[in-house]
């Protein structure tokens, strides 16, 4: 994606089902779980590079010994930093106590981070400060083992204020106004309540406090706690939690917006944000990794028993399509095919734009995530060329010469690597004129492969703000002196802000929104903007379920092609000599390519939860009033 977007997070959880001695004997190390967690986090570094965190719990420790370990980092390479700290601590212990090397019991007792329940997290800071205090996992501490709670998640809540106010009504005093703290405290409240009730029952049965502790772990119903806590949540989430005595859970939102996958055998239970992470790290088959269903929780008890529980009634499944287009790793078998299909389905529009002149067209892509859709686009170009070859040969019948047949058969789609991202370049100067010049050189180009008579078709996975296109890519491509530059987006026009975990909180930054406003001005219809503003204001006191997305009216007077052409006009700098055209995928084709991931609110404004409409209306009010605050 040429316009860099921050995605919220990635989670990883491992529950070892055997004693640590088992892993030492079979795999050569009692740190098997820690090693696997490092790999799982590294394989999800695409989901977050602003910070990373790791936590572990040791089961059945004696009083007076630490059983929870946690480490977090906001270093430039936070995952490596975390595990460098862990390795240093472990190695220092071994240097001081060489007798621990072959004594797993002593390792577990005395060395931090080794444990049976492990939670990892990678973060992009889309909300809140990017300090180590903002990095997951978060820890809610208590002297009662069962009341300790460790939380990490991939989520954004649309109704944080409501949830925060609910905590205050419960008599709490939350230490921070963030959705993570709010969610953790809500779960913590019902966890405390459940533990207290179980203890009272055990006391009536004649057990003292010490005798009650293991029985509380057995009787604690995590599913019931989650049902009570999540009752009023509105947002997209995959929420992971560890309870001090060893119970663990991951809960997915009822619309299935954020992803979660799991795998279980007799050695481990594993959960991650992405399927291929589990496949690769644990060397298992595609079909062995299951998707956690919307509103469902996977709960692992201290005993090792795994349960799937329906916590919230599922809504219509609206799994995020951006996961498939851009954020998730393309090594997933399904995602790879979906991205190729996105490239194939947009090709008819490309052929129309080049007047079917494939002979004088060079095809390329903007690295790196658009590469797979590029393969699909080129495959369709070759199919079209082969049809032309067949028609030409049949038309020639017997009179066609061998030389002519060879000439016809030699035509191929002209594929070149045109744009090369200079990953080492940093725009370290903030003064606008200097910074713009540096931004313009973020990409290098390949000279000598494009002729002045050529069309240059270059595909990107999506166009959000258009900033990099305008300031860098189009100017660089124009240096190749093509006749026409056609930028293709494998995703539809992004018209609405996100509120479920992707860093698109404001409307005015979206190039499609800017284009619609310009079209309203051009057609003397800008009064619609004020009308929409008034309609949004009139809804500010309504319940979320009654709110309507009136921002759709901004786009209604225009066709997709009109908006695309206006986007091209806005991005076309006066210094660019080539004709510039922008082509977007249709929403219909997006659904064809990703039939199981129909979350398309970025493109259609059809938000999957009631809080979404409130957020988009607030974003429009902010735009109209010149307020730069986030809409949620």
CB atoms within 10 A of CB 333: 12
Instruction: Provide the pLDDT for residue 419.
Output: 85
Based on its alpha-carbon atoms, the radius of gyration of the chain, rounded to whole angstroms, reads 28
Q: How far apart are the C-alpha atoms of 119 and 467, rounded to whole Å?
A: 37
Q: Helix/strand/coil (H, E, C) string of 374-425?
A: HHHHHHHHHHHHHHHHHHHHHHHHHHCCHHHHHHHHCCCCEECCCEEECCCC
Instruction: Provide the pLDDT for residue 432.
Output: 46
| Residue 350 confidence (pLDDT) above 80 | yes
| Residue 427 confidence (pLDDT) above 50 | no
Instruction: Provide the pLDDT for residue 144.
Output: 87
Pairing of strands 117-123, 9-16: antiparallel
Instruction: Provide the pLDDT for residue 182.
Output: 82
**DSSP states along 26-72:** HHS-TTHHHHHHHHHHHTTGGG--SEEEEEEE-SSPPTTS--EEEEE
Q: What does the pLDDT average to over 242-263?
A: 97
| Residue 455 confidence (pLDDT) above 60 | yes
Q: What does the pLDDT average to over 403-418?
A: 83
User: In the numeric block, which tokens belong to residue 610?
Assistant: 């009631």
Quick one: 310 exposed, middle or buried, by C-beta within 10 A (0-12, 13-18, 19+)?
A: middle
Give pLDDT tens digits for 116-163: 999 999 987 655 456 888 899 999 998 889 999 999 998 888 877 776
Mean pLDDT of the chain, nearest integer: 90
Q: How far apart are the C-alpha atoms of 449 and 297, rounded to whole Å?
A: 54
Q: What's the DSSP call for residue 120? A: E
Higher pLDDT, 419 or 88: 88
Q: How far apart are the C-alpha atoms of 291 and 386, rounded to whole Å?
A: 40
The DSSP element (H or E) to which 53 belongs, if any, is strand 51-57
- C-alpha 309: how far from chain center: 24
Q: Find the helix packing angle between 527-538 and 511-522, rounded to 10°.
A: 120
Domains belonging to the chain, first-starting first, are 9-317 (3.60.20.10), 332-625 (3.40.50.2020)
Closest-CA residue to 230 (of 242, 221, 239): 239
- Cβ–Cβ < 8 Å for 463, 567: yes
Instruction: Provide the pLDDT for residue 163.
Output: 66
User: In the numeric block, which tokens belong to residue 359?
Assistant: 């002979």
| Residue 215 confidence (pLDDT) above 70 | yes
Minimum mean pLDDT range among 201-215, 484-498, 514-528, 586-600? 201-215
Instruction: Provide the pLDDT for residue 430.
Output: 43
Closest-CA residue to 249 (of 196, 193, 190, 202): 190
Give pLDDT tens digits for 471-529: 889 999 999 999 999 999 999 999 999 989 777 778 999 999 999 999 999 999 999 99
Minimum mean pLDDT range among 213-217, 339-343, 458-462? 213-217
User: In the numeric block, which tokens belong to residue 617?
Assistant: 């209306």
The answer to whether the bond into 368 is cis (omega within 30° of 0) is yes
Closest-CA residue to 457 (of 485, 479, 420): 485
Pairing of strands 138-140, 149-157: antiparallel
Q: What's the DSSP call for residue 323? A: I
Instruction: Provide the pLDDT for residue 438.
Output: 57
């Amino acid at each position: 994606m040429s316009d860099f977007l921050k995605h919220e997070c990635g989670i990883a959880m491992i529950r070892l089902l055997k004693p640590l001695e088992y892993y030492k004997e079979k795999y050569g190390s009692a740190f098997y779980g820690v090693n696997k967690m490092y790999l799982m986090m590294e394989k999800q570094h695409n989901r977050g590079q602003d910070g990373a965190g790791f936590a572990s719990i040791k089961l059945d420790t004696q009083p007076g010994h630490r059983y929870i370990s946690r480490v977090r980092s906001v270093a430039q390479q936070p995952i490596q930093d975390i595990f460098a700290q862990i390795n240093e601590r472990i190695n220092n212990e071994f240097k001081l106590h060489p007798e621990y090397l072959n004594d797993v019991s002593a390792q577990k007792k005395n060395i931090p981070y080794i444990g049976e329940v492990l939670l990892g997290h990678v973060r992009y800071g889309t909300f809140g400060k990017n300090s180590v205090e903002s990095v997951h996992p978060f820890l809610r501490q208590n002297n009662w083992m069962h009341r300790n709670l460790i939380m990490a998640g991939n989520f954004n809540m649309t109704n944080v204020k409501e949830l925060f106010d609910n905590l205050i009504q419960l008599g709490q005093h939350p230490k921070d106004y963030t959705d993570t703290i709010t969610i953790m405290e809500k779960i913590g409240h019902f966890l405390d309540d459940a533990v207290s009730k179980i203890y009272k029952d055990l006391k009536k049965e004649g057990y003292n406090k010490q005798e009650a502790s293991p029985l509380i772990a057995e009787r604690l119903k995590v599913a019931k706690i989650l049902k009570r806590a999540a009752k009023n949540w509105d947002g997209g989430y995959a929420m992971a939690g560890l309870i001090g005595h060893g119970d663990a859970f991951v809960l997915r939102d009822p619309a299935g917006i954020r992803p979660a996958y799991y795998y279980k055998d007799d050695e481990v239970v594993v959960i991650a944000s992405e399927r291929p992470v589990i496949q690769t790290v644990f060397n298992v088959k595609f079909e062995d990794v299951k998707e956690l269903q919307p509103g469902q929780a996977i709960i692992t008890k201290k005993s090792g028993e795994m349960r799937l529980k329906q916590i919230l009634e599922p809504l219509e499944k609206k799994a995020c399509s951006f996961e498939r287009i851009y954020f998730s790793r393309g090594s997933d078998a399904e995602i790879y095919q979906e991205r190729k299909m996105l490239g194939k389905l947009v090709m008819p529009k490309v052929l129309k734009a080049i007047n079917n002149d494939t002979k004088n067209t060079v095809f390329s892509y903007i690295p790196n995530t658009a590469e797979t859709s590029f393969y699909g686009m080129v495959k369709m170009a070759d199919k079209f060329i082969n049809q032309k070859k067949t028609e030409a040969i049949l038309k020639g019948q017997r009179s066609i010469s061998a030389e002519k047949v060879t000439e016809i058969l030699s035509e191929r789609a002209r594929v070149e690597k045109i744009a090369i991202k200079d990953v080492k370049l940093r725009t370290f100067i903030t003064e606008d004129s200097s910074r713009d010049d540096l931004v313009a050189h973020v990409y290098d180009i390949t000279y000598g492969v494009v002729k002045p008579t050529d069309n240059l078709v270059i595909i990107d996975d999506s166009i959000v703000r258009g900033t990099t296109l305008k300031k860098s890519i189009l100017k660089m491509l124009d240096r190749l002196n093509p006749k026409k530059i056609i930028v293709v987006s494998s995703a539809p026009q992004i018209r609405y802000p996100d509120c479920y975990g992707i860093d698109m909180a404001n409307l005015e930054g979206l190039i499609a929104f800017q284009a619609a406003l310009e079209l309203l001005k051009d057609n003397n219809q800008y009064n619609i903007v004020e009308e929409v503003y008034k309609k949004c204001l009139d809804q500010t006191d309504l319940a979320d379920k009654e709110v309507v997305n009136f921002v759709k009216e901004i786009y209604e007077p225009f066709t997709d092609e009109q908006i695309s052409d206006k986007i091209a006009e806005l991005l076309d700098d006066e210094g660019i000599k080539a004709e510039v055209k922008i082509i977007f995928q249709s929403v219909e084709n997006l659904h064809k390519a990703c039939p199981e991931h129909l979350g398309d609110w970025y493109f259609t404004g059809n938000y999957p939860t009631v809080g979404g409409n409130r957020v988009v209306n607030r974003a429009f009010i902010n735009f109209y009033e010149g307020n730069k605050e986030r809409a949620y």
